[in-house]
Amino acid sequence: MKKRGKVVSFIEDLKNGATDPYAYVERALEEASRKDPVLNIFITMKSEVPDKLVNGKLAGVPIAVKDNIVTKGLRTTCASRILENFVPQYSATIVKILEREGAVIIGKTNMDEFAMGALGTTSAFGPTLNPINTKLSPGGSSSGSAAAVASGVVDLALGSDTGGSIRLPAAWTGIFGLKPTYGAVSRFGLISYADSMDQIGPMSSNASDLAYLFSIISSFDPLDPTSSHNPWGNRIEEIASKEPDFDLLRKLKLKIPRELLNHPQAEEYVIEEFWRKISTLEKEGAQVEEISEPILLKVPQVYYVIAFSEASSNLARFDGVRYGSRIAELEDNDWDSYYMMNRSLFGWEVKRRIMLGAFILSKGYYEMYYSLALKARAVIKRKIESHLKDGSLIATPGSLISPLPINYDATDLSKLNAIDAPLMIANLGGFPALTVPTGSVSGTPTSMQFVGPSWSEDKLLSLAKVMEEMFT
């Protein structure tokens, strides 16, 4: 195996007494202190190596955690002024798992405010820059987690994915990112954007470590009512350490939705590079079929209606009474003034989504928009399932466009809409989806996305290991 997981190798060396257990985290903290001032990766950082490491599957392994996952005693802001000073009194289940296995959280990563954005630029603490080219966006909303991995500060990070927020940053920074099956990873302690689509997932610099981290964090959690028992047993952990299975390619069936590749804003070189990689897989035995599903053109609209509605409901609690910073006191103002003044701490993108969501859910419009979107979502899910039921995977570019400038006008939705549809189908249907880097063209990373049927992460991660050997 040419590509060996850095984390997997470190853990093996640690078991054999061949490495310093503190070396990995010490190097990560040094890299973070050097690179964060330039890239703005972290909102809150730790500066000291722990006195004692917990002996576990991630003993001494540094990891970066997105700042919408609560951490006891460590500030959690969602990149918003309204939570600027929030220090949780409990940790998310996934954080407890990491700490139980000995991982060292070195910081909470920057992100689009409340995970709302695609460019990593809506954070109240300033944008994260792309380590490949600081003039470009790293993608959002898990911008800081992607930059932490791509810059070499850490080899593992956690992000969250509501409409592509793990996979787009992975595509634009040249790393691996997995959105798991809905319910595969506990969401207890994830500050919600849109509950029916939010999912925590791993990001990594290589496929083996991605599989290894996922094998640890995927488990049933009784505290999360959407959590499910996974069907893999030890299979995912075995994938992390074994040789790539090239026989997989001879059994691989790929379906490519024509509508998703024909977007008017899609960049020609991206599509050409995608087809070159598909051709290579085909020569190795993969079966490739183009499919047509016109309803996929409606995916962004359906997603926006549902996501904005859920966001409007979820963020109602941030009013300075139940949660959130307080810049006005109730005894000095009437309730309406008090409420509006405190919620002025939200950024413009969050306000926009809350207002649209509130409108959609209002009397007279609920049936017209929200109810109709739920029905359309069910149709989209059934259509995708019909194409995946024979064990096929849906393949698309990781992004139809190259990374946008960091100062791109986010009110111009033309290019942003080109990003959305290929990524959002996984969230609407609860399917697992994986972004795999496939090299670069003129210094710009290229990637592919694979969407599988529910609970097919073992197949996706096996394919990631094969493609890593072939293309990077």
Task: pLDDT band for 187, please (50, 70, 90 cuts).
Answer: very high
Task: pLDDT band for 39, please (50, 70, 90 cuts).
Answer: very high
Task: pLDDT band for 326, please (50, 70, 90 cuts).
Answer: confident
Which tokens in the block code for residue 121?
């630029």
Q: Which residues contact 240 (CB under 8 A, 6 or more apart)?
A: 5, 8, 208, 209, 211, 212, 215, 461
Is the model's pLDDT at 379 over the cut of 60?
A: yes
The phi, psi pair for 103, rounded to 5°, reads -65, 150
Which tokens in the block code for residue 345?
């701490």
Task: State yes or no: is 165 an active-site residue.
Answer: yes
Averaged pLDDT, 28-57: 94
Q: Are 398 and 236 in contact (CB under 8 A)?
A: no
Q: With pLDDT > 90 as the criterion, what percentage of the chain qualifies? A: 88
Averaged pLDDT, 342-352: 93
Q: Identify the CATH homologous superfamily for domain 6-245.
A: Amidase signature (AS) domain (3.90.1300.10)
pLDDT at 410: 84
What stretch of H or E contains 27? helix 23-39
Closest CA to 207 of 398, 471, 466: 466
pLDDT at 301: 95
SS (H, E, C) 122-158: CCCCCCCCECCECCECCCCCCHHHHHHHHCCCCCEEE
Task: pLDDT band for 168, please (50, 70, 90 cuts).
Answer: very high
Averaged pLDDT, 60-68: 98
Q: Is 275 exposed, middle or buried (0-12, 13-18, 19+ CB in 10 A)?
A: middle
Q: What is the mean pLDDT of the chain?
A: 95
Closest CA to 300 of 463, 413, 212: 413
Q: Which residue ranges make up each domain of the chain?
A: 6-245
Which tokens in the block code for residue 445?
């990373």
Task: State yes or no: is 141 an active-site residue.
Answer: yes
Task: State yes or no: is 454 an active-site residue.
Answer: no
Q: Is 19 exposed, middle or buried (0-12, 13-18, 19+ CB in 10 A)?
A: middle
Q: Which residue has the higher pLDDT, 386 or 416?
A: 386
Is the model's pLDDT at 232 over the cut of 70?
A: yes
Closest CA to 239 of 207, 217, 216: 207
Is the model's pLDDT at 423 over the cut of 90?
A: yes
**Per DSSP, what are the bridge partners of residue 289?**
255
Q: Which of 91, 123, 143, 165 is catalytic?
A: 165
pTM score? 0.97
Measured distance CA(209)–CA(8) in Å, rounded: 6
pLDDT at 1: 52
Q: Are 307 and 194 in contact (CB under 8 A)?
A: yes
Which tokens in the block code for residue 266?
């899609």
CA atoms 276, 281, 284, 287: torsion sign: negative
pLDDT at 60: 96
Averaged pLDDT, 245-249: 96
Is the model's pLDDT at 321 over the cut of 90?
A: no
Q: Which residue has the higher pLDDT, 340 or 86?
A: 86
pLDDT at 100: 97
Q: Which of 141, 143, 160, 208 is catalytic?
A: 141
Measured distance CA(438)–CA(395) in Å, rounded: 13
Task: pLDDT band for 335, please (50, 70, 90 cuts).
Answer: confident
Measured distance CA(168)–CA(191) in Å, rounded: 20
Is the model's pLDDT at 47 over the cut of 90?
A: no
Averaged pLDDT, 128-156: 98
Task: Indicate the residue type of 425.
Answer: I
Instruction: Report helix, strand or coil for 323.
Output: strand
Q: Which residues contact 373 (CB under 8 A, 6 or more apart)?
A: 301, 302, 305, 306
What stretch of H or E contains 340? helix 335-343
Q: Which of 6, 35, 66, 459 is catalytic?
A: 66
